[in-house]
Amino acid sequence: MTISAYFRAALAAGVLSSSAAGAAPIAFQDMLGNPVSLPAPTQRAVTLPMPAGSLLISLDGGAEHLAGMHPSAYGLMKDGLLARMFPATAAVRTDITRSGFVPNVETLLQMQPDLVWQWGHMGDDLLAPLRNAGLPTAALVYGTEDRTREWIRLMGLSLGQEARAQAQLRWRDQVRAEIRAATDAIPASERPGVLYLSRHAPQLRAAGGNTSFEDDITLAGGRNVSASIASGQTVNIEQIMAWAPAVILLNNFEPGLTPETLYRDPLFADIPAVRERRVYKVPLGGYLWDPPSQESPLYWQWLSLLLHPEKFSWPLRDNIARAYGELYGYQPGADEIDAVLRLNMNQGAAGYERFR
């Protein structure tokens, strides 16, 4: 079943919109086990975690109920497709932090949100000011696919959009099952070594073991060459040379980082991924595809096509168009899909012609 079928099924059930939930009170436990009580589906939400703003939009079908979001998250979307899909994001407040994820409590009190989403795994210093100010707060914890699924469930519940949340979760389940049917049996010796370069400057950093990045690579039939290190640990070029990755994935957090950056660097010249031109900038759609998001199933399909084109024949461009219609109510044009897939940036990369 496609994502379209999941959303049609929800619509047929008459429960796709928040109106079906009425104004009934909502109660749940956040990801730290703290009780959250709302008198009705949230109308003015603030999202401090960067991925949460675009996820909320996808669950709500618009930006109407997003009152504030992290400035860096807005920076990622303002020049991209999400801002084009939802011009109302230009009016969303971004002055809600002091630095990093430290909340600007004075501003938030002026805004009077009915729910503030905040990181729950970075220490109580980020939560206590909100709690002490009497602001309704829900904690999110980052990392695994299970945690991402809980984000979707809780945020959908808070908006009265449980059906949209369930449609997203079923889509994730279906895509993962389809990929695993082809990749679970692949032995380690046939899995290409993949390096997700989480930072290039000022120091090289790689995604370690037990991360969402490793889960993505393993799911798609690859082998995370940096599985032995801690997440985001600094590495050097000698270590990367020893790992000898067959594929290198470049993060979206450094806009100036492109495959050409590595191709032009003589230090990387002897690395197999560079020699074979298998360095790829990860796509960017409604949100970055490398961290977990509402668009992860599209990322898994993209990555599986790169690693094992002999096993998959996803019509990825069609899938993007359908998914954006359901997630955002928007039909992207061919040039917009080109931009999502970074066709210009990845031009000349091995196998990338399949995405045209």
SS3 content of the chain, % helix, strand, coil (to 5): 45, 15, 40
Per-position DSSP letters for 184-196, written without gaps between them? TT--GGGSPEEEE
* CA–CA dist 53, 9 (Å, integer): 26
60/84 Cα distance (integer angstroms)? 17
Give the model's pLDDT for residue 80.
Answer: 78
One fold for both 21-160 and 169-355?
A: yes
Question: Could you state, in order of their start, the residue ranges of all structural domains in the chain?
Answer: 21-160, 169-355
Cα–Cα dist 209/232, whole Å: 10
Query: What is the CB-side half-sphere exposure of residue 181 using CA atoms within 13 A?
Result: 7
Q: What is the pLDDT of residue 15?
A: 46
User: CA geometry: angle at 296 spanning 141 and 327, to 5°?
Assistant: 100
Q: Which residue from 156, 158, 145, 147 is spatially nearest to 119, judged by alpha carbons?
A: 147
CATH architecture of the domain 21-160 equals: 3-Layer(aba) Sandwich (3.40)
Using CA atoms, how far residue 347 sits from 76, 81, 183, 193, 259, in Å, is 22, 20, 27, 22, 9
Contacts of 306 (CB under 8 A, 6+ apart): 220, 247, 278, 280, 351
CA 108 to chain centre: 25
Q: Quick check: helix, strand or coil at residue 140?
A: strand
Measured distance CA(218)–CA(197) in Å, rounded: 16
Whole-angstrom distance, CA of residue 220 vs CA of residue 240: 21
* pTM more than 0.85: yes
What pLDDT does 17 receive?
A: 46
Spell out the per-residue pLDDT of the chain, length 356, in tens: 555 665 665 545 444 444 444 579 999 999 999 999 999 999 999 999 999 999 999 999 999 999 999 999 998 888 779 999 999 999 999 999 998 999 999 999 999 999 999 999 999 999 999 999 999 999 999 989 999 999 999 999 999 999 999 999 999 999 999 999 999 999 999 999 999 999 999 999 999 999 999 999 999 999 999 999 998 899 999 999 999 999 999 999 998 999 999 999 999 999 999 999 999 999 999 999 999 999 999 999 999 999 999 999 999 999 999 999 999 999 999 999 999 999 999 999 999 999 99
Q: What is the pLDDT of residue 77?
A: 83
pLDDT at 232: 83
One-letter amino acid at 88 equals A
Give the right CATH number for 169-355 from 3.40.50.1980, 3.40.50.300, 3.40.50.10310, 3.60.15.10: 3.40.50.1980
- DSSP state string for 228-242: TS-TTEE--HHHHHH
